[in-house]
Amino acid sequence: MTFDEKIKQAIAEDHEEYFGESYGISEKHRFSISYKLCQAKMLRNYGKNISARDPGSVRRLKYVLAAVAVAVVLGTTAFAATSIGRFAFSKHSDYSQLFMENISSDKKIIEEYYGLPDTEGWVITEYYADEKSSLILYDRGDTHIDVGQEIIDRGVHHINTEYADPEPLSLYEPNDGIYVDQGGGDTSIYWIYDGYLFYLGGNIDKYEAINLAYSLKIIDLEKNL
Amino acid sequence: MGLLDKNFFIQICTDYQQLLFKKSNEILQNVTDAEDAVQEAFIRIEKNLDQIHNLPDDIRAIYCVNIVKNISLDMLRKKKRRHTANMDDFCSVADSLSIEETVVEKCTVDEIKKAMRKLAEKDYELLYLYLFKELQPIEIAEIMHISSENVRVSIHRAKKKLVVILNEEGITL
């Protein structure tokens, strides 16, 4: 038996166990909401020859998140932060970030999931949900909407403001939200409600986004988990 | 690109995102960077979907893992953090070492099995693809995302490393 034959035999006897250990997942990673959002958009744009704008944005976004997290841990604001409503805001050359200040919530897990009412013709095409965040993708004709919900755990959240300056928005309380014109007809809004941070975005204008935000209601998503 | 392609791509994402994250995080040791690498990997996977579609499941996993590893290593290099996980270093056995026939003759399959567990993952994968799956270097090159010349050299070096490990285990004259 040659050396190669012995190796082949060894692999034949061991490869299943080896790859089981090496490629097996012992502990599932809980992907961040920005990853899920980016992933969902990539799938939505699949085959449309859309440039890698979103993945690029998310990369910057995540670097920013890491930096913000460090700043918060250190108790410092390494950025030249200003405030928009209840959010601290920092603008960089090609991106910016926001993180919440002086906002707390006793909700450590999502107790009720919010979504668009099913009477308006919105169809859930995909969703991700766990106890700390959810992201639901809706379609209605050519209109695509993403609705995200997160617990306010550390007061540090991140949003993509790469393509525009965030503007203050008032939904339920003065300056409780942010509006971002993402360019290309895309809009994102973020706001605080019922102890959660909400996100709603899609190929809609600002006022449609606001109306949809007001229309959110508690939905029975849990039965699908 | 049809609905079937999209469904296949979604299936790939669902099946492999945890594995790709695990492999990337092993290299980058940073959750945020690892998520970025996974995202980038899926963009590259999407571009090579036809090729991936034709691969058997086990080889498909290796293919995808090697994409995310390469991306992760690139990120690591850019950040100039450390070099221990550099794939090139996995092939750093001295070229002058020759495979000792006596060791080869004396060792048992069980001893090789044990020694192979001490190889770097890339070396194990190379030997698996070359000797067990009996793929040609050019086919392995596509799966591992390296040149076919590099495949040949790496296989040779992997076997040499195996001999070194066997020697260290006391399989000598």
Residue pLDDT, tens place only, A178-219: 888 877 788 889 888 988 889 898 889 999 999 999 999 998
Check if B13 contacts A (Cβ < 8 Å): yes
Residue B20 CB coordination number (10 Å)? 28
The complex scores an ipTM of 0.78
Q: Are B12 and B64 in contact (CB under 8 A)?
A: yes
Check if B8 contacts A (Cβ < 8 Å): no
Checking if the pLDDT of B53 tops 90, the result is: no
Q: Closest residue of A to B46, CA-based?
A: A46
Residue A192 is predicted with a pLDDT of 87
Q: How far is CA B51 from the centre of its chain?
A: 18
pLDDT digits (tens, 9 = 90+) for B28-38: 888 888 888 99
pLDDT digits (tens, 9 = 90+) for A143-192: 888 888 888 765 555 566 666 677 888 999 888 888 888 777 888 898 88
pLDDT (mean) for A41-61: 54
Residue B74 is predicted with a pLDDT of 85
Residue A147: name the closest of A180, A181, A186, A116 by CA.
Answer: A116
Q: Are A110 and A163 in contact (CB under 8 A)?
A: no
Residue A60 is predicted with a pLDDT of 46
Q: Are B118 and A12 in contact (CB under 8 A)?
A: no
pLDDT (mean) for B155-171: 86
> Which pLDDT band, with edges at 50, 70 and 90, does A115 fall under?
very high
pLDDT (mean) for B86-95: 39
Residue B100 is predicted with a pLDDT of 53
Residue A114 is predicted with a pLDDT of 92
Which string of b and e fits A76-97 if b means at least 16 CB within 10 Å? eeebebeebbbbbbbbeeebbb
Report chain A's mean pLDDT, rounded to a whole number: 74
Q: How long, in residues, is chain A?
A: 225
Residue A74 is predicted with a pLDDT of 36
Higher pLDDT, B128 or A38: B128
Q: How long, in residues, is chain B?
A: 173
Checking if the pLDDT of B98 tops 80, the result is: no
Chain A interface with B: residues with Cβ < 8 Å: 2-4, 6-15, 18-19, 22-23, 25, 28-29, 31-32, 34-35, 38-39, 42-43, 46-47, 52, 55, 58-59, 62-63, 65-66
Q: Are B26 and B82 in contact (CB under 8 A)?
A: no
Residue A169's alpha-carbon distances to A14, A87, A177, B151, in angstroms, are 60, 11, 5, 57
Helix (H, G, I), strand (E, B) or coil at A93: coil
Residue B24 is predicted with a pLDDT of 92
Checking if the pLDDT of A96 tops 70, the result is: no
Residue B69's alpha-carbon distances to A23, A27, A108, B72, B85, in angstroms, are 13, 19, 35, 5, 10
- DSSP letters of A105-173? -S-SS-SSEEE--TTTT-EEEEEEE-SSEEEEEEEETTEEEEEEEEE-SSS------TTS--EEE-SSS
Closest partner CB to B6 (pick from A22, A32, A46): A46
User: Over chain B, what HEC string results?
Assistant: CCHHHHHHHHHHHHHHHHHHHHHHHHHHCCHHHHHHHHHHHHHHHHHCHHHHHCCCHHHHHHHHHHHHHHHHHHHHHHHCCCCCCCHHHHHCCCCCCCCCHHHHHHCCHHHHHHHHCCCCHHHHHHHHHHHHCCCCHHHHHHHHCCCHHHHHHHHHHHHHHHHHHHHHCCCCC
Range in A91-95, A128-132, B50-54 with the lowest mean pLDDT: A91-95
Residue A98 is predicted with a pLDDT of 59
Closest partner CB to A47 (pick from B6, B61, B127): B6
Q: What percent of chain A has pLDDT over 70?
A: 69
> Which residues in chain A have their CB less than 8 angstroms from residue B6's CB?
43, 46-47
Question: Quick one: DSSP state of residue A223?
Answer: G
A-proximal residues of B, 113-152, CB under 8 Å = 113, 116-117, 121, 124, 127-128, 131-132
Higher pLDDT, A141 or A102: A141
Residue A161: name the closest of A77, A75, A93, A67 by CA.
Answer: A93
Report chain B's mean pLDDT, rounded to a whole number: 80
Checking if the pLDDT of B70 tops 60, the result is: yes
pLDDT (mean) for B113-124: 92
Q: Closest residue of A to B160, CA-based?
A: A3
Closest partner CB to B35 (pick from A28, A32, A52): A32
Higher pLDDT, A200 or B91: A200
Residue B5 is predicted with a pLDDT of 77
Residue B31 is predicted with a pLDDT of 85
